[in-house]
Amino acid sequence: MKAAKQVNVHHAKTHLSKLLAEVEKGQEIIVARDGEPIAKIVPFKKNRMTFGDLKGKIWMADDFDELPDELLKEWGLL
């Protein structure tokens, strides 16, 4: 996703249709007043996940399925 684009309130009011067209293409728009961000316009995403939505957002440790020997002994698995 592209870095968010920042615009001032006047620009947002004047060019809302154009900004919404950019948002539909995946661009995030930050609306600022006197240079201070006050709102973000982002693409609407339905609650339906698709393949790849979590790419780069989760990870699994290399040893996620390893248990300490003391637990394995306690459970009779060693």
- Interval 6-62: pLDDT, tens: 999 999 999 999 999 999 998 999 999 999 999 999 998 777 788 888 899 998 899
pLDDT of residue 10: 97
Q: Is 40:4 a contact under the CB 8 Å cutoff?
A: yes
Taking CA atoms, 77 is separated from 6, 65, 68, 69, 70, in Å, by 58, 14, 11, 9, 10
pLDDT of residue 53: 85
Cα(76)–Cα(74) distance, integer angstroms:
6
Neighbours of 30 (CB within 10 A): 16
Residue 7: CA atoms inside 13 Å, Cβ hemisphere, count?
18
- Domains of the chain, each with CATH number or no CATH: 5-43+51-74 (3.40.1620.10)
